[in-house]
């Protein structure tokens, strides 16, 4: 293992940039565009997962789609984060969104020509995942540069709430699109929303820390500097390990939920849409609640929120198949508990990590979780085929609850957001 020294303080040439005026208009337009793009992506994910479920009805096919959508992002996230700290985050976001939109154009043409195959869907999912490795760290690191420090917690809460609203809208809209449009035209919605997300970025500037050319290191050394931020902080390194373990255990649930609805509850696309909408309602409520109270110490909220989210995931599958409405209620509570834990987590990371390092440090977290997700899917596939999708959900929920609550056993993790003596 290579030893890495802790990062040195930012050089005088790496200056922090104030959001400037009028920051509200700039932030609002960029935020609105990215929210619409998020809506299109969520709708596309619903449409493609339901198409795979309805076409194959196979856990392995869904798991393969999940791996294709996650693994490239995991492998490329460190590179994307390093580039986001070195080059224009705005241009990275534009290029990534544009390539993703072009992938959808290819899928639309294949569906309309009635020559679509599973491997083609997997290929486009792989390319889109690779683009997320560049878009996600650039977007995450840009938030702190678009708003004043005092507004950052509210910006994070607002982002979580809008994400929940998109979840509420995406599933029913996806089910509606499937029912009234050919598959190809249903996917066309994603192209339109992606372009709406790109347009504000073409005209508005995103402030970025400036680092003189002579102060720049090689890409590998800059990546190691971001890695040192995590490894030199016991609480932060334990947090990354814990989140990776939670994702490994429960991520398959979000990919396999259409199969649970179809096989166990006997539902179709409208029922899947309703269940996802309930999750969105729960996320809205959870985001608004946490934003309103703005907890001073977020780590207990993170651990309890993720633990409660996993526990209610298990309760969703324990409901008898004739009580689908109760299952949807538990699924909604799971979404609300997740946001109650994720909002303080995002605020903690964005407010404590220096902005000129955020791209690299946040991309490391994306890498850990994105690597854990396909591993979890690979492990869950044979288990689900052996015990059935219902009991797979129960097992994942119980295991995720235990992993989340185990964080209270680590003082360094428990006190991560408290001032150090």
Cis-peptide into 22, omega within 30 deg: yes
Of 191, 182, 188, 46, residue with least CA distance to 112? 182
Q: Is the residue at 212 inside a domain?
A: no
In tens, the pLDDT along 301-343 reads 888 888 999 999 999 999 998 999 999 999 989 988 888 888 7
Are both 203 and 246 inside the same structural domain?
Answer: no
Sequence length of the chain is 421
The boundaries of the domain holding residue 87 are 21-207
The pair phi, psi for residue 15, each rounded to 5°, is -95, 140
pLDDT digits (tens, 9 = 90+) for 183-218: 778 888 888 888 888 888 888 887 766 655 545 555
Residue 405 contacts residue 303 (beta carbons within 8 Å) = yes
Residues 87, 45: one domain? yes
Q: Is the pLDDT of residue 17 over 60?
A: no
Same domain, yes or no: 189 and 251:
no
Dist. CA 282–CA 293, nearest whole Å: 17
Do 410 and 96 contact (CB within 8 A), yes or no? no
Q: Domain with 156 in it: what CATH number? A: 1.20.1250.20
Question: Does the structure show a pLDDT above 80 at 417?
Answer: no
The 10s digit of each residue's pLDDT in 365-403 is 777 777 787 788 888 888 888 888 889 999 999 999 999
Q: Which pLDDT score is estimated for 128?
A: 85
- CA-derived radius of gyration, the chain: 21
Q: What pLDDT is recorded for position 74?
A: 74
End-of-domain residue from the set 207, 235, 251: 207
State how many domains the chain has. 2
Query: Has residue 348 been placed in a domain?
Result: yes
């Amino acid at each position: 293992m290579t030893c890495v020294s802790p990062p040195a303080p930012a050089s005088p040439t790496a200056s922090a940039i104030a959001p400037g005026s009028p920051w509200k208009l700039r932030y609002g337009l960029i935020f609105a565009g990215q929210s619409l793009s998020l809506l299109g992506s969520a709708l596309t994910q619903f449409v493609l997962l339901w198409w795979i479920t309805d076409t194959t009805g196979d856990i392995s096919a869904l798991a393969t789609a999940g791996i294709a959508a996650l693994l490239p992002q995991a492998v490329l996230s460190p590179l994307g984060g390093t580039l986001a700290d070195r080059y224009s985050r705005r241009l990275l976001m534009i290029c990534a969104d544009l390539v993703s939109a072009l992938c959808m154009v290819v899928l639309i043409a294949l569906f309309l020509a009635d020559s679509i195959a599973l491997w083609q869907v997997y290929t486009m999912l792989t390319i889109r995942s690779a683009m997320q490795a560049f878009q996600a760290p650039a977007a995450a690191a840009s938030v702190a540069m678009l708003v004043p420090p005092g507004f950052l917690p509210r910006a994070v809460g607002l982002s979580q709430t809008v994400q929940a609203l998109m979840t509420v809208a995406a599933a029913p809209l996806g089910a509606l699109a499937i029912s009234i449009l050919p598959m190809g035209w249903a996917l066309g919605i994603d192209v339109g929303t992606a372009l709406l997300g790109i347009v504000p970025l073409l005209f508005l500037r995103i402030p970025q820390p400036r680092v003189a050319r002579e102060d720049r290191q090689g890409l590998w050394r800059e990546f190691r500097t971001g890695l040192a931020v995590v490894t030199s902080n016991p609480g932060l390194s334990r947090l990354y390990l814990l989140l990776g373990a939670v994702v490994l255990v429960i991520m398959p649930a979000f990919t396999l939920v259409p199969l649970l609805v179809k096989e166990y509850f006997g539902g179709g696309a409208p029922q899947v849409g309703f269940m996802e909408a309930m999750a969105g309602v729960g996320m809205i409520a959870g985001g608004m609640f946490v934003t309103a109270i703005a907890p001073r110490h977020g780590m207990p909220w993170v651990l309890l929120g993720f633990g409660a989210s996993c526990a209610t995931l298990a309760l969703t599958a324990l409901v008898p198949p004739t009580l689908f409405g109760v299952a949807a209620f538990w699924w909604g509570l799971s979404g609300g508990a997740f946001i109650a834990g994720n909002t303080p987590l995002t605020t903690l990371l964005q407010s404590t990590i220096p902005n000129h390092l955020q791209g690299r440090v946040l991309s490391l977290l994306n890498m850990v979780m994105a690597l854990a997700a396909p591993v979890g899917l690979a492990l869950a596939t044979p288990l689900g085929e052996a015990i059935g999708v219902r009991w797979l959900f129960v097992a994942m929920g119980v295991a995720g609850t235990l992993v989340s609550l185990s964080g209270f056993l680590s003082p360094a993790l428990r006190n991560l957001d408290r001032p150090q003596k």
